[in-house]
Structure 1
Amino acid sequence: MTKVRIGLVGLGNMGTGHAKYLIDKEVPNGELAAICDLREDRLAWAAEHLGDNVKRFTSYEALLDSGDVDAVIINTPHYFHPEQAIQALRKGLHVLIEKPAGVYTKQVREMNEAAKESGRVFGIMYNQRTNPLYAKLRDLIESGELGEVRRTNWIITDWYRSQSYYDSGGWRATWAGEGGGVLINQDPHQLDLWQWTIGMMPTRIRAFCSFGKHRNIEVENEVTAYAEYENGATGVFVTSTCEAPGTNRFEVAGDRGKVVIEDGAMTFHRLRVSESEFNRTFKGGFGQPECWKIPIATPGDSPQHKGITANWVSAIANGTPLLAPGEEGIKGLMISNAMLLSTWTDNWVDLPIDEELFLSKLQERIDASSTEKKSGEYKTLEVGGTH
């Protein structure tokens, strides 16, 4: 295959961004062939800016059945991602979904099974995996340079959102429209990177989520969570959309030192000998291992969304391994669901979570949604059904 004909499903902010670099032919072997949106203004924009060679559809099913595309990028509201991905995969099309993978893991698990059965190339838009900072951290851990991971700490509170932001869309910050707040909307990249860089998932989580803190919204907008891992490591994850100025600082401590990522830079506090060796051999009472503070260069571009799309297209056309396989979207979502479930039950939550319990708790909140943002198409959550 020399060209992969791509259809964009949803032409909002993200879909429009994808359309621009695709129409400018910035993705090798990728060709924008069609778009789909229900809104007349977005169809008019497509006609003006994308030209007559890009087909326009108001029906998703019509796009899938058109024969005009080999693959689709899904940029619709969160609840629709698994359902629409499953439809496309079963039609024999390759799929790239925007983050998050979905709202609840039971729904995403069905999508993953459909992807496996289809044999198609299935990716997720985890564009932060293209960031050299996080790729280098993953390499330092995988190679053993940092030693066994003992502690992680991510403070990600620079997601500031005002009340006017939440008021700008009827679906925003509601259980019916988005299915959550900061964890499902702003943090999917960090929740993915948290497990992707260190190479392991928590075994259990205790979290404290605040809902509508300092804002008139339904969903969580401030979270503090504590995680435990099979090897004895611990982790803390702190996030907020109502803190200014915010912080973005990721620390990973290992047996051979500590890595800190902050302000777009990486610092490796490297021990001359590992902590475990020093502890075993040192006889001087007070003392600690010699430590070198080393700035770590992370050369290379961070192609972000375009990079993930190019990698996905290359996987379709050339068999290139995916940087962000769609099946891995369930991992960060599992952590997110666990944090909410821990708060709702006021208890520890083991991973993998009780998916039926989470779904029932989420449904309770959708049923209680009291704004105009509640829509009949979101009322009942059934795997493979209408969301």
Structure 2
Amino acid sequence: MEKVRVGFIGCGGNGRGHLKRVLGFPDVQVVALADPDPEALKLATELEPRLKDVPKFSDYREMLEKVEMDAVEISTPHTLHYEQIMASLEKGLHVLTEKPMVCRSEHAEEVIAKAEEVGKVLMISYQRHFSPAFRFLRNYIRSGELGEIQFVSALQAQGWYWMAKGTWRQVLSLSGGGQLNDSGS
């Protein structure tokens, strides 16, 4: 079986977490890294000796032009997703993007239409959708055993403000919104 060749757009903390997990799959090969921050690229490279010789780019567009790959993983500030997804799909690549997929409903419609047009997978990397507890609950509700659901109350206690202090997540032009837009998507 040929390995799936993946390029990473965004090598910050979250991107490095994804990178570490992807490197554990024997049928995946990381073929390029892109991030405008040289320190993020350096830290990503230090994760794994296999990444030492992988091409690194400060601009993802250059990576898309120069490297043969099958897919990209996008882990960047939210308002950048739309442009990065569209550019990747236009290159004929499958896309796994961090949540939220995009920040505007018309952009969501456009990227979905583009993925369908080019016949590529566009998937959002949600935190909880595939975790066992949430899957169990979804299946239990769908089974009808609980009857008709009349009301749901949920609480998410997360020190989000302090965790994100001083980062792009608190810059509206990059985050596209606050905690609800981020963890609530």
TM-score, shorter chain, exceeding 0.5: yes
C-alpha distance in structure 1 between counterparts of 2:83 and 2:132, whole Å = 33
Query: Which residue of structure 1 aligns with residue 158 of structure 2?
Result: 159
Q: Is the aligned partner of 1:174 residue 2:171?
A: yes
C-alpha displacement at 1:187, in angstroms?
2.1
The runs of 5 or more residues in structure 2 that have no matched partner are none
Aligned residue identity for 1:173: Q
Query: Which residue of structure 2 aligns with residue 13 of structure 1?
Result: 13
The runs of 5 or more residues in structure 1 that have no matched partner are 189-387
1:38 to 36, 39, 46: 36
C-alpha displacement at 1:120, in angstroms?
0.6
Q: Is the aligned partner of 1:102 residue 2:102?
A: yes
C-alpha displacement at 1:37, in angstroms?
0.8
Aligned residue identity for 1:43: L
Query: Which residue of structure 2 aligns with residue 246 of structure 1?
Result: none
The one-character-per-residue Cα deviations of 1:84-139 (angstroms, maximum 9, x if unpaired) are 11111111011000011121212221111111111011111013122111111111
The one-character-per-residue Cα deviations of 1:235-282 (angstroms, maximum 9, x if unpaired) are xxxxxxxxxxxxxxxxxxxxxxxxxxxxxxxxxxxxxxxxxxxxxxxx
Structure 2 SS opposite 1:88: helix
Structure with larger Rg: 1
Structure 1 residues 132 and 62, CA gap change in structure 2 (3 angstroms): same
Larger relative contact order (Cα-Cα within 8 Å, sequence gap ≥ 6) = 1
C-alpha distance in structure 2 between counterparts of 1:96 and 1:71, whole Å = 8
Query: Which residue of structure 2 aligns with residue 89 of structure 1?
Result: 89
Structure 1 residues 37 and 119, CA gap change in structure 2 (3 angstroms): same
Structure 1 residues 161 and 70, CA gap change in structure 2 (3 angstroms): closer
Structure 2 SS opposite 1:109: helix
C-alpha displacement at 1:74, in angstroms?
0.4
C-alpha distance in structure 2 between counterparts of 1:177 and 1:84, whole Å = 13
Give 1 or 2: higher strand fraction: 1
C-alpha distance in structure 2 between counterparts of 1:143 and 1:165, whole Å = 38
Structure 1 SS opposite 2:171: coil
RMSD: 1.9
C-alpha distance in structure 1 between counterparts of 2:101 and 2:114, whole Å = 14
C-alpha distance in structure 2 between counterparts of 1:57 and 1:12, whole Å = 14
Equivalent positions of 1:275-294 (< 5 A) are: none
Give 1 or 2: higher helix fraction: 2
C-alpha displacement at 1:75, in angstroms?
0.6
Query: Which residue of structure 2 aligns with residue 27 of structure 1?
Result: 25
How high is the TM-score relative to the length of structure 2? 0.88
**Identity percentage of aligned residues:** 35
> How many residue pairs align between the two structures?
183
Structure 2 SS opposite 1:115: helix
